[in-house]
Each structure stands twice: as C-alpha cells, then as structure tokens.
Amino acid sequence: MKLYSWNVNGIRAVIKKGAFQAFLAKHEPDILCLQETKANSGQVEVDLPEYEEYWFSAKKKGYSGTAIFTKETPISVIEGLPLEIAKKYQLQDGYGDTTEEGRVITLEFEGLFLSTVYTPNAKDDLSRIPMRSSWDPAYLEFLSRLKKQKPVIFCGDLNVAHTELDLARPKENKGKKGFTAEERAGFDAYLKEGFSTRSASLRSQRGTTLGGRTLQKLVREILAGESITFWRVRSSSLSLRVPEFTKKLWGQTTVLSHSNYLIFKRKIKV
C-alpha cells in the first residue's frame, strides 16, 4: 500500500496546471494526504471515481485546509481536534482560531488511525510562537488518546526543521521561524511519546543531510519543490498491524511536500 503526503499550497492551482492528475496517474497512491488545500470540496473539479474524498476546510475561504483521498473506506472520520483539547490549550490568538482553519483530519481504519496535519506557521517575526507552544502539545495529546485504541500514523506539514541535518544552512536559520527552540522542542515531544520519524531514517541511511546536494539532486530528479514532510508511526511493537483490507505488506511509502518528495521503503507485517 502506498501512502503519500503533499502540501499542495492551493489544490485548485495544482489541478489547473494538470500536475495533480499527472501525479495520481503516475504514482497511483492508495491514500493521499493533503495540506494547505485552500479550497472547499465543492470548489474542486476533478474526476477521481476510484477515490473517496474527505475534506476539512477552513471557514476562511482560500486559506489553510486539509484533505485525505483514499481508495479504502474508513470506519470513521474525525475533523479537527476534540473540543475539550481545544479549550484546554486555548487555540486562539490574534491571527484567528486555529480550530476553524481546517488543520487536522483523521481517518480511522480497522487496524489504525491515519491523521494529517497542517501546523500553524510561527510567522517571520515569531509572533505566533505562543500558539505553536499550545498547538504542538494539543495535537500530541489528541494522537496519544488515539493510540490507546489502536496504532497511529500521522503525517503533514509540521512547519519545523527538527535538527541541523534537516537544513542546508542551519547556523543562518537558527532562531528563525521553523527552527526555533520552541518549535524543535515540540517536535521532540512527538519522539518522546514514541513516534518514529521516517524522514530521519532516510537521512541516516543515506548519510547526508536533507539539505545536502546529493539528496537535493535526488529530489529534483523526482519532482522539484520546497520543503519537508515528516511521517510518524506509533505502535506497541515494531510490527505494526494494518487493516485487514491490505492483505499484503506495505511496500514503498512516499513522503511528499510542496511537490518535493523523498522515497523510502517501509514493510509492515499484517
């Protein structure tokens, strides 16, 4: 089974250019997670009879938004974060209410939860760092609740570079949005909770940084782009049991963001 995550930065533009259709035709993902769709489902005209589409759009038109396209029917769909978590962490600031920005959508399958997230940007002047300090633990608490029921996989645009290996110029970017101590600490918390990052595994296997020329060349050969998406897997053991519908090993899984994606292989026992 192939799972893809893509920050499309406006799905209507990607469809208009034909890039979205071309990508689906070439890679045939079983499940495609999207961030920053900037549209409602009714604003998108694309014929995909093999996919079920689940959208969680922002109330503000043309802003933020997430969606999941899947060939397999989920048991349930969760839009956003639970109300009690949103109230606990006070997910509103001067920029708006993040719970109304369509930032999280989660599908429940027989053997796991799959969640995709578009984390709020800290802003160039770091004025939204206080929100990030609330958002990251709020989303983590949501995931932690889910994993008490069954394994969890989550992906998306987390708007953070975790380590210096994730940047081409870490010294110049230290303390700037996406690479502040607060944002990196939020990422650390996911790992401490037991989630593993597939991007880090790819980085260590290749012996180069995600910002290094070798990997940049590899990415450009696949599809030119901008940023990094992380996948997280959490289960009680190394063998993650997936839904019965797979009936096979999950082979190639792709991590993709802003038309820029990294490929790795992940086998999971069923």
Q: Name the residues annotated as catalytic.
A: 118, 157
Which residues does 152 contact at the CB level (< 8 Å), separation at least 6? 112, 113, 114, 115, 143, 146, 195, 232, 233, 234, 235
**159 conformational bin, left if phi > 0, alpha if psi -120 to 50, beta if neither:** left
DSSP assignment letter at 166: G
Quote the CA–CA distance of 102 and 105 in Å, as a whole number: 8
Cβ proximity of 38 and 64 under 8 Å: yes
H/E stretch holding 107 reads strand 104-108
242 CB-contact burial (10 Å; exposed 0-12 / middle 13-18 / buried 19+): buried
Cβ proximity of 163 and 148 under 8 Å: no
Structure tokens at 113: 């939860």
| Total residue count of the chain as it appears in this document | 270
Quote the CA–CA distance of 184 and 79 in Å, as a whole number: 26
Q: What are phi and psi of 156, to 5 degrees?
A: 145, -170
